Homo-oligomer: A and B are copies of this chain.
């Protein structure tokens, strides 16, 4: 069985070979750890920086068992790890974050109910098990509202906006007839996220709440800290902590939230928060920490899953901006290298397809600058 705490020289197993796995492997290397990447796709970017690799399907139980026998702890770069995969691995070594986090984050209905049970506000939602349930749900939630498949949604995939006059049956079938939830549209002022870590001993460390901008449903830009009232930011961090504690979470967690203007019981307009979703892993909105914080989210995740003390999440500078390089935007690499104060990260992906995250660039502002 896995020891609770991994020593330098140990091996971290990572499911997934994309840029998150790659940056986790780089952080592990810096701390004297080896990375073993497990990924079905040959030529995955993370393989290039890993001590060992396994190219196999996530359903290949023999390969999973062999992988788990050769690593000290398993983590993952994506939340849609099949429950069976996690169970097979867990029979051989520690899987961190654990199964509760995977179960709650893979299914939008389970996730929303989990939040509701914790008293964490979300968008209004209704279960839509089948086409017949959709009309009843629309009657409850109203329009516009958003129909989302319960599972396998990301970057705007698996969802459809329901406006006045939309054909409910066609919309439901358009999402594959899969079980869905209907969510009310939250009229948000801004989107923020809390990237934080919880250690094996229950310690908790949050980065500054950051503000996110999306284009075509893909994160384009993050600014830390978000422009929020101090008590709103504190409430955001407290919600993330409540979620992490409830899951007995180990590792970095990212909680996406909407900031709204709402009226309180006394009719005063207040800055409010509603959680959109959480990801049980390092997150694109935490990439700014690589250059912009004392401990990056990748090192923090490695520390947590190894049972090590968490590092300081302290921000460098007055403000940090992270911009994603999507598709052909990465062709500007030479100009970015020349820009004073810009830090370039490229993920080693050969093919710059539209919408593909190819890299990111970070910039730190000191007090005296814009």
Contact = CB atoms under 8 A, between A and B. Distances in A.
A22 interface: yes
Contacts of A32: 333, 345-349, 359
Contact of A33 (B25, B33, B330, B348): B348
Sort A-B residue pairs by CB-CB distance and give the 7 closest, nearest first: A32-B346, A48-B51, A309-B338, A32-B348, A29-B49, A309-B337, A8-B346
A171 interface: no
A345 B22 contact: no
Contacts of A30: 26, 345-346
A29 B48 contact: yes
A334 interface: yes
Given A47-B51, A309-B337, A309-B338, A346 B316 contact: no
Contacts of A312: 340-341
24 contacts: A8-B333, A8-B348, A9-B348, A9-B350, A22-B29, A26-B29, A26-B49, A29-B48, A29-B49, A29-B348, A30-B346, A31-B344, A31-B345, A31-B346, A32-B347, A32-B349, A34-B48, A47-B51, A48-B50, A48-B51, A49-B49, A295-B343, A308-B337, A311-B337
Given A34-B48, A308-B337, 13 more contacts: A8-B330, A8-B346, A9-B348, A25-B49, A29-B48, A29-B49, A29-B348, A33-B346, A49-B49, A49-B51, A308-B334, A309-B334, A309-B337
A51 B334 CA distance: 23
B29 A294 contact: no
Contacts of A311: 337
A49 B303 CA distance: 19
Contacts of A341: 294, 312
Contacts of A316: 316
Contacts of A50: 48-49
Contacts of A25: 49
Interface string A295-325: 1000000010000110110001000000000
Contacts of A330: 8
Contacts of A47: 51
A8 B334 CA distance: 10
Nearest to A350: B9
Interface string A19-55: 0001001100111111100000000000111110000
Contacts of A345: 30-32
Nearest to A32: B346
A191 to B, nearest CB: 27
A346 B346 CA distance: 24
A37 to B, nearest CB: 12
Nearest to A29: B49
Among the interface residues A308, A345, A348, which one has the most CB atoms of the partner chain B within 10 A?
A: A348
A161 to B, nearest CB: 36
Contacts of A334: 308-309
Interface string A106-126: 000000000000000000000
Nearest to A8: B346
A34 B35 CA distance: 16
Contacts of A26: 26, 29-30, 49
Interface in A52-107: none
Given A8-B330, A8-B346, A9-B350, A303 B29 contact: no
A348 B33 CA distance: 6
A329 to B, nearest CB: 13
